Amino acid sequence: MAWIVLIISGVLEAVWATALGKAEGFTRLWPSIVFVIGLAASMFGLAWAMREIPTATAYAVWVGIGASLTVIWAMITGDSDVSWIRILLILGLVGCIVGLKLIDPGHS
């Protein structure tokens, strides 16, 4: 269950990071609200997951998921250029996240 919560928290990290960019210095109401709620939910989920998953692993996975999804979303929406090297680097990051899960057999 901790891994599911951690993955959801990583997705929420991408949500709040994207909302923060759209909030334009907190001058836009709805993106600012999404940022605050997404940040709180993401942090709560990370903290909850860290009760069972080692801190270093949980944090690395959380950041990796959030960063990957934020870049993917930016490419989908046209805020960032799509390139083979960018896609390759994201795949490498995802591979590292999966690897961290696989080498952590004591925590399911």
Domain-located, residue 108: no
pLDDT for position 102: 87
Domain-located, residue 44: yes
Domain-located, residue 107: no
Total domain count, the chain: 1
pLDDT tens for the chain, 108 residues long, are 999 999 999 999 999 999 999 999 999 999 999 999 999 999 999 999 999 999 999 999 999 999 999 999 999 999 999 999 999 999 999 999 889 888 876 655
Domain-located, residue 25: yes
Q: Quick check: 81 and 75 in contact, CB under 8 A? A: yes
Domain-located, residue 87: yes
pLDDT for position 105: 66
Rounded to two decimals, the pTM is 0.88
Domain-located, residue 38: yes
List the structure tokens of 70.
């934020």
List the structure tokens of 108.
């399911």
Domain-located, residue 74: yes
pLDDT for position 107: 53
